Structure formats: C-alpha cells, structure tokens
C-alpha cells in the first residue's frame, strides 16, 4: 500500500496548457507538502498545508495553486504552463515538523 501517492507520474504537455497533479496520503498525517526538484536537483518546498490550511507559500508564481479538499489530499494546479516549469514535483506528508517527511514517487513534468 503506497503511503503517499501522486498522479500522474509522467506528464508531457505544451506551453500555455493548464494541468493538475493529484496527491493522496493514507498515513493520517496532518501536514502535506509540495516540493519541486529543478534541473540542478535542488529540492525546494513550494507549499505546506496543515489540516487543509495553507501554512507555507514560498515565492512561487501564482500560476501554481494548491488545493486541499481534505487533510488526506493536496492537489497542485498549474495554469499557463511555461518551459521553466519542467521539473519533478514531489508530494509529501508528515505528522509534524519534527518527524520525518514521507515523499511520493514524484511527478515528472515536461513542458514543450
């Protein structure tokens, strides 16, 4: 049973399109995250939600909008995709900040 699952795993799309990546965790964690791993392999936090409330919103373009319908789900919507959005996006969850973060397998987004 996958603890943090995200779909799709691979996504190739054209510039200007709008796409979503879905994430679900079955660990009962209160906090969920979206991380981006860019071409230089840096893992950077984008958003953090705690019990459906936005806690952290890093300097991410407002084309990126997270949506948390419940504490087990945190979806990422991206509007007007740009070439620079190509990256691996990791969903993650944790019971609290001190505990370990559990990552999903990643979603490889390629914008052409």
* Footprint of other proteins (CB under 8 A): 4, 31, 35, 40-45, 48, 50, 55-56, 90, 92, 96-98, 100-106
Smallest separation, CB 72 to other proteins (Å): 17
Question: How near is the Cβ of 82 to other proteins at its closest, in Å?
Answer: 23
Helix (H, G, I), strand (E, B) or coil at 53: strand
What's the rounded Cα separation, in Å, for the pair 62 and 50? 20
Tell me whether residue 17 or residue 51 sits nearer to other proteins (CB atom). 51
Residue 83 has phi, psi (to 5 degrees) of -55, -40
- How many residues would you count in the chain? 112
């Amino acid at each position: 049973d996958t603890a943090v699952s995200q779909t799709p795993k691979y996504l190739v799309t054209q510039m200007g399109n709008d796409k979503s990546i879905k994430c679900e965790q079955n660990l009962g964690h209160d906090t969920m995250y979206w991380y981006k791993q860019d071409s230089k392999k840096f893992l950077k936090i984008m958003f953090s939600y705690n019990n459906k409330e936005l806690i952290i919103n890093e300097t991410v373009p407002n084309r990126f909008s997270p949506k948390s319908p419940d504490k087990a789900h945190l979806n990422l919507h991206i509007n007007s995709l740009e070439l620079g959005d190509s990256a691996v996006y990791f969903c993650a969850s944790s019971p609290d900040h001190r505990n370990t973060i559990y990552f999903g397998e990643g979603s490889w987004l390629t914008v052409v």
